[in-house]
Chain A
Amino acid sequence: MESIVSFCFAILAAPLLSAIIMKVKAYIAGRKGPPILIKYYTLAKLFKKGSVYSTSSSFVFKLGPVVSFCSVVMVLLFFPFAGIKPLLSFHGDVIILLYLMGLGRFFTIIAALDTASPFEGMGAAREAYFSTLAEATLFVILLLFYRLNGSFSFAAFFTGTTAINLWSPAASLLLLVIVALFVVLLTENSRVPVDDPATHLELTMIHEVMILDHSGPDLALIELGAYLKLFFYSAFITCLLYPFQLDNVYLNGLIFYGIMGMIYVLVGITESIMARYKMNLVPKFILTSFALVFFATILTMEFVK
């Protein structure tokens, strides 16, 4: 029961958290910013609309948003929110989890290619390239966690006596992991300095350009999927920051969403204090995260056992 409630709550809260970034950015730029419920309004507006399909696109185009949305939702099924046992968990689920995200990305990309628009092809190429690099980081993190924890299930990483978090003996290594994960978060969720979610310039976009042709409920699913994806990565970092082993479920939840909020604020601040990287510098930025976790993994071979 708790698992179902925490899962539903996460899905409902994701849009609110995403609005925090907009608020922070607006505040730093000296503006009031949109209402905090903006993302819900946007979703409601989009779901009420009809979808427009180009005559030159095929069923692949319609499949894209649905599959990518479902894949993110499925990923969240494996996630132990605030230390609560997830709905699904088994040995080796982390691999499924990463490939579910890969599946979602794959369908977003082929839906973009299906439109035959030169912009969307460009965006798809960038997305495929950059997320491949980010995936490498994630796999090294799994490797590291396996060495630390001995389990190969997402829930098991963060529960039990060998739970991985900043309060465990491997904390110093986890600092590197957290930084790397933050980089992956920025990359995978098309945030500054990798991508600019607010731009209207189609030539510079990565993620946004792939969804230019989607409209109405399709776009709503993509948007909601994007909020959930950001939620997943933030929650991942949150789990590393705090153990959530209190007996009081509500207190756990409160701390969980408190830390989540702070990560979103941090994303907002990051976006406000720096410009985007040049496109050819982005791979280096992502590979830095790889280097960090790879280094951390090497350290486990000798010193931490």
Chain B
Amino acid sequence: MDNLLKIDNGETVKRSDIPQLSFDVFRRELLDFAVNGGQIVHYFAYEDDGVLKVMAVLRNDDGLYVTGSDVAETYHALTADCEKFHMFEREIAEQYGVRPYDHPWLKHVRYHANYRNREDVFGNDYSQDIPGNYDYFPVEGEAIHEVAVGPVHAGIIEPGHFRFQCIGEEVLHLEIQLGYQHRGVEKMMLEVPRKRMPVIVEGIAGDTAIGHSLCYAQAIESLGSVAVDEGARIVRSIALELERIANHTGDLGALSGDVAFNPPAAYFGRLRGEFLNLLMVLSGNRFGKGLVRPGGVAYSMGQEQRQLLIDKIKETKPEVEHVCDLLFTAHTVQARFDLTGTVDRETAEKLGLVGYSGRASGLAYDARVSFPTECYAGLPANMNNKTDGDVASRATVRREEIEHSFLLIETLLAKNVETESVLAGECKLAPSSFVVTINEGWRGEISHCLLTGAGGEILRYKVKDPSFHNWTGLAMSLRNQGISDFPLCNKSFNLSYCGFDL
């Protein structure tokens, strides 16, 4: 393991301490790690003094590791030997114009010109607005028909293109093309003043504002050696759990609506509003924007807010339980959820699914347990009991997580610790350093990676939303399913378009 540096979540390390391997060794090391049950947290390229380098952050049951290497303009794709790298390598090819040869499905990820003004790997003409000149994976035959959905959808949802290859009602293959919301977050983070950064981070995925801003805040706190008081940690953890409950209840309602079972859809919709309102009590914003800032929280939680939260949680907890019972005991709903959109454990492991999508397939990984931040080290973990990998499992995991989050919030509210409100102040970041922060957002593992240059300036800001892993899981879940079950499968994953598009 000399080639990998073991690190902690949110620990600042000198970049010179990170092993710089030759690419061949690097490739072998990564493949070894990935094949033996390890997962990829980050694998990205960056430019340092005009030299193109790659860095990988890996995790397994024992901990978190980082390693790096120089990379040539073309190299032998890791994906050729291990599926876990497929999206990361496509991203590197798109961002830096490096061509991984032998990649089985080398295709643009988000449709933008690369950062180095090099020749495009995919031969795209970016003066065209819409990614049009790309051939989707075709299935040929007399009885095959192709269904194209999006990027403009019938509901008020984000844009994404779905291409189904079907035989009758059965889907043989689904290809998902995103990138319609690419805003250039990673590049923007290098250009904007520090004050604007939290605002941009909160907008990476609007429904995960707390999760992403936590990752950002922890990275800055670590690099700038800023201490966070106990009270602020409690508020942040409560906010993250409220975000989880709000989104999970909303999703259970949407799942119910997708199978045309109306009553729970209406009740959950109302309950979601209650939890968003609790975030508003904490921060003045229903999505918790403006709450988490490097150094603590921008709004302290007073006794009045604490009491409001305690009362509301007490009131809504049995309500959520009743509506869950209504949904999960309805036979017609069970008939729709069970054995629909199954992703087996092996596939989930190969794709590196995270969050409830992974846990529903039997991958127990929960960043709150494996790499605890904030208050999570002292809190009980959740156990997921239903791991069949189908829609029913993904729904049940959500239900269990809602109950677990209630417990966590109650525990945290019982700790009567005062907080100070902190306004984002300037702090000097440690020069030539590296930090990775991981948090379990409601969708799963969110991770930010920060590299600083010799003067303490940010050299590279890498963001990874859980959706980056899980979109492929959705595509796989549709194999040999009825096309009419797609909306249900889609909702059971409920992935972020903008979190993926950055």
Residues of A close to B270: CB separation below 8 A: 30
17 new A-B contacts at CB < 8 Å, known A203-B147, A275-B260 = A30-B267, A31-B266, A118-B148, A119-B149, A196-B260, A198-B260, A200-B155, A201-B487, A275-B261, A275-B336, A276-B259, A276-B260, A277-B332, A277-B336, A279-B169, A280-B482, A281-B335
Does A301 sit within 8 A of B, measured CB to CB? no
Does A104 sit within 8 A of B, measured CB to CB? no
Does A122 sit within 8 A of B, measured CB to CB? yes
B260 touching A121, Cβ below 8 Å = no
7 cross-chain CB contacts under 8 A: A28-B262, A119-B149, A193-B332, A196-B260, A203-B486, A203-B487, A272-B262
Given contacts A31-B266, A200-B155, contact A275 B335 (CB under 8 A): yes
Bound-state Cα–Cα, A30 to B326, Å = 14
| A203 touches which of B261, B263, B340, B483 (Cβ 8 Å) | B483
Residues of chain B from 457 to 492 with CB closer than 8 A to chain A in the complex: 482-487
Residues of chain A from 15 to 36 with CB closer than 8 A to chain B in the complex: 25, 28-31
Does A2 sit within 8 A of B, measured CB to CB? no
A278 touching B336, Cβ below 8 Å = yes
A201 touching B145, Cβ below 8 Å = no
Residues of A close to B336: CB separation below 8 A: 275-278
Residues of chain A from 156 to 204 with CB closer than 8 A to chain B in the complex: 192-193, 196, 198-204
Given contacts A30-B266, A201-B155, contact A277 B335 (CB under 8 A): yes
Bound-state Cα–Cα, A142 to B262, Å = 35
Given contacts A118-B147, A203-B147, contact A279 B482 (CB under 8 A): yes
Main secondary structure of the interface of B (DSSP, over half): helix
CB within 8 Å: A-B pair count: 87
Does B265 sit within 8 A of A, measured CB to CB? yes
Residues of A close to B258: CB separation below 8 A: 199, 201, 204
- Interface size in chain B (residues, C-beta < 8 A): 31
Does B374 sit within 8 A of A, measured CB to CB? no
- Min CB distance A52 to B, Å, is 16
Bound-state Cα–Cα, A296 to B260, Å = 32
Bound-state Cα–Cα, A122 to B166, Å = 11
Residues of chain B from 233 to 292 with CB closer than 8 A to chain A in the complex: 256, 258-263, 265-267, 270
Bound-state Cα–Cα, A304 to B47, Å = 89
Residues of B close to A279: CB separation below 8 A: 169, 482, 484-485
B266 touching A275, Cβ below 8 Å = no
Residues of chain A from 38 to 89 with CB closer than 8 A to chain B in the complex: none
Given contacts A275-B333, A278-B482, A279-B484, contact A122 B262 (CB under 8 A): no
Does A1 sit within 8 A of B, measured CB to CB? no
B482 touching A29, Cβ below 8 Å = no
| A274 touches which of B148, B154, B332, B485 (Cβ 8 Å) | B332
| A29 touches which of B146, B266, B485, B486 (Cβ 8 Å) | B266
B263 touching A202, Cβ below 8 Å = no
- Min CB distance B53 to A, Å, is 44
A271 touching B487, Cβ below 8 Å = no
Residues of B close to A200: CB separation below 8 A: 154-155
- Min CB distance B184 to A, Å, is 31
Does B330 sit within 8 A of A, measured CB to CB? yes
Residues of B close to A204: CB separation below 8 A: 258, 484-487
Bound-state Cα–Cα, A272 to B260, Å = 8
Residues of chain B from 133 to 159 with CB closer than 8 A to chain A in the complex: 145-149, 154-155
Bound-state Cα–Cα, A176 to B247, Å = 45
Bound-state Cα–Cα, A122 to B333, Å = 24
B145 touching A121, Cβ below 8 Å = yes
B149 touching A202, Cβ below 8 Å = yes
Residues of B close to A203: CB separation below 8 A: 147, 149, 483-484, 486-487
Bound-state Cα–Cα, A206 to B167, Å = 17
A29 touching B147, Cβ below 8 Å = no
Taking CB as reference atom, which chain B residue is nearest A208? B154
Bound-state Cα–Cα, A276 to B169, Å = 16
Bound-state Cα–Cα, A203 to B486, Å = 7
Taking CB as reference atom, which chain A residue is nearest B488? A204
Bound-state Cα–Cα, A72 to B152, Å = 34
Bound-state Cα–Cα, A200 to B483, Å = 15
- Min CB distance B308 to A, Å, is 24
Bound-state Cα–Cα, A29 to B484, Å = 24
| B483 touches which of A122, A196, A198, A272 (Cβ 8 Å) | A122
- Min CB distance A37 to B, Å, is 22
Residues of A close to B340: CB separation below 8 A: 278
Taking CB as reference atom, which chain B residue is nearest A278? B336
One digit per residue, 1 when the CB lies within 8 angstroms of any chain A CB and 0 when it does not, for chain B 89-116 equals: 0000000000000000000000000000
Residues of B close to A28: CB separation below 8 A: 262-263
- Min CB distance A266 to B, Å, is 16
| B260 touches which of A122, A192, A202 (Cβ 8 Å) | A192
- Min CB distance A67 to B, Å, is 26
